[in-house]
Structure 1
Amino acid sequence: MKLLLKISERLALIVLLIGGVGMIMSTFLGVADVVGTQVLNVPVPGPRELTESTMVLIVFGALTFAQIRRAHIRVEIAYLAVGPRFRAVMDVVTDVAAIIFFSLIAWQGLLEAQYSMKIGEATSGLIRFPLWPARFTLVAGASLIILRLVLDLIIDCGRIRSGEPQPAPSI
């Protein structure tokens, strides 16, 4: 269990860092395009297409990392007003709902990725980027957060029995 937690944390951190690099690249490319278009009258080809493709990595890297830190939005006033056992029950309900939600995203994303690869779907524009890698990235990102949610579900079920508070995030 501890090994799986460590692996999921490392993967989430790697995906978060890659997403951060993608965001920096998108930012610089966007600025270069604006300056090129407005100042030099020479637009940079491909910033929109690159940004569309890296958004999936940026979002899903952050989602899994936020789950590890238990930093998703919740009604703190209600959560903090109850004891540790009832907090664990609330966390279990949240974990199950999120597992269902991201499982549906992964399932439909996989179908879309397979279809996109089959038809050779690509972005429109000066530079044509294939869309199937971003769609498979979505499936991988959803699968990573599902893995983390399942691990958290196991921990939270144990917290219901023991009455222990939520463990502090390690990263």
Structure 2
Amino acid sequence: MLSLIHAISRGSVWITGALLLLSAVLVGSEVLMRNFFHYSFGGVDEISSYIFAIGVAWSLAFTLLSRAHIRIDLIYGKLGPRWRAALDILSLACLLAVTGLLFQQALETTLTSYEIGARSNTPLGVTLWVPQTLWTAGLGFFALVQLYLLVSIVRLFIANNVRQITALSGVKSMDEEIEDEIDEAKA
């Protein structure tokens, strides 16, 4: 199951990267067209905003699985492995609670936009529930990944397998960070 989750999150990051690159090309073209030809495509900033929001939502799961979310580990490194595992569980549970609230609000916003037929108040007049659905789905996927990881690491904690918890959700060590950078440089 974890390999499927990794594959989906990795695919979403690649798609997000491609969309962000497209967005950068659109914005760059828009700037050049305005400066040299006094012509504007119109709506590029709006489309870029949707791409950014959707991309961030769909990239959060990959960041979590890569153990790349920013965490303050002032005390974490000084604790024993079992305490660190307990903090990993606590931090993931807190993140899930926040994501759950964000997902709930996003879902309500999307449903309301759909019910009232809301459109953006721009020349494009985008039907808002469409980009909001993609954004909400990304947040939902992030929440599901967190829930799966939380259940997995709680089971590992009960089985006293703290080494595996660290591999799944712990703060990366300096050696792991260096190894990741070397691997990226080789690729």
TM-score under structure 2 length normalisation? 0.81
1:106 aligns with 2:98: no
Choose between structure 1 and 2 for higher RCO, CA contacts under 8 A separated by at least 6 residues: 1
What code does the residue aligned with 1:10 have?
A
Cα deviation per residue 1:77-130 (whole Å; 9 max; x = unaligned)? 322221221111111111111111111111111111011112222223222222
Cα deviation per residue 1:48-77 (whole Å; 9 max; x = unaligned)? 121121122211122111100111111233
1:17 aligns with 2:28: no
Contact 2:119 2:128 in 1 (8 A): yes
Number of aligned residues:
166
Structure 1 residue 158: Cα displacement: 3.3
Superposition map of 1:46-125 within 5 A: 46-125=43-122
1:143 aligns with 2:140: yes
CA distance in 2, matches of 1:65, 1:155: 17
Contact 1:89 1:156 in 2 (8 A): no
Contact 1:88 1:159 in 2 (8 A): no
Structure 1 residue 163: Cα displacement: 4.3
Q: Percent identity?
A: 21
CA distance in 1, matches of 2:134, 2:108: 13
CA distance in 2, matches of 1:12, 1:149: 12
CA distance in 2, matches of 1:123, 1:29: 20
Partner of 2:172: none
Structure 1 residue 160: Cα displacement: 2.7
TM-score under structure 1 length normalisation? 0.88
CA distance in 1, matches of 2:120, 2:16: 20
Unaligned 5+ segments in structure 1 are none
CA RMSD of aligned residues (A): 1.7
Q: Which stretch of structure 1 is more off in the superposition, 75-84 or 17-26?
A: 75-84
Secondary structure (helix, strand or coil) at the match of 1:61 reads helix
CA distance in 1, matches of 2:89, 2:155: 10
Unaligned 5+ segments in structure 2 are 170-187
